[in-house]
A and B are shown apart, each in its own frame.
Chain A
Amino acid sequence: QSALTQPPSASGSPGQPVTISCTGTSSDVGGYIYVSWYQQFPGKAPKLLIYEVSKRSPGVPDRFSGSKSGNSASLTVSGLQAEDEATYYCSSYGGTNNLVFGGGTELTVL
């Protein structure tokens, strides 16, 4: 049950796009559509942004989008805003009745 691999940090200027990657294996990310992304602010519970690779959770701004290619998934924030500064986690069905999370990416808006 290895964790998915995310870059520890990412940054971008307001209005610019930023993409966060999430790399797994063919047994998890590459094998299923059950890839999700969560946003977490300090001291707060995570919030579901994206599920099933690219479906936005209700109320999530359309500047957030998800995609997958092979064993890697990506979260793109287009038109970055100051309020997007948070930590982002990916997760995937792990293939053996389990879920696995990525280590998290701290997004900084410059």
Chain B
Amino acid sequence: QVQLVESGGGVVQPGGSLRLSCAASGFTFSIFAMHWVRQAPGKGLEWVAVISHDGSNKYYADSVKGRFTISRDNSKNTLSLQVDSLRVEDTALYYCARDPSVRGLAEMDVWGKGTTVIVSS
């Protein structure tokens, strides 16, 4: 079945780094744009980044620009998010999600269960 499984979260000190991964299965990964969306504890959803189906276009929220890097490996059906220079306010559950739109920056129809990042000293 169509599935997204995130991994790589953990506890890290401010200024630290992590690499989040999202393994896709059950669909042709290479034809879909993919997003990262996060949700701080008890808070709402925040869009983080998107990458086009072929990896040629990448866009970021202002809050993470210059610190986070989205990438994908279509040969391995894997989406990644390198998160550097972490701040306490980056603490959240990080979801990967599929964008089925032709535009590739519109809506998200398949979501993973998320991986938790905690930034604390």
Contact = CB atoms under 8 A, between A and B. Distances in A.
Interface residues of B, number: 23
Interface in B45-70: 45-47, 50, 59, 61-63
Contact of A51 (B47, B50, B107, B113): B107
Nearest to B112: A45
Tell me what chain B mostly uses at the interface: helix, strand, loop, or mixed.
Answer: loop
Q: How large is the interface on A (under 10, 10 to 19, 20 to 34, 35 or more residues)?
A: 20 to 34
B47 A91 contact: yes
A93 B105 CA distance: 7
Contact of B44 (A1, A45, A98, A102): A102
B112 A99 contact: no
A45 B107 contact: no
Q: Main SS of the interface on chain A? A: strand
Contacts of B106: 34, 36, 51-52, 93, 99
Interface string A54-72: 0001000000000000000
A48 B107 contact: yes
B46 A101 contact: yes
Nearest to B99: A99
B13 interface: no
B103 A34 contact: yes
Given A34-B106, A36-B106, A48-B107, A89 B47 contact: no
B104 to A, nearest CB: 10
Given A36-B108, A45-B114, A98-B105, 4 more contacts: A36-B106, A57-B109, A101-B45, A104-B44
8 contacts: A1-B61, A1-B62, A3-B44, A38-B45, A48-B107, A57-B109, A99-B106, A104-B44
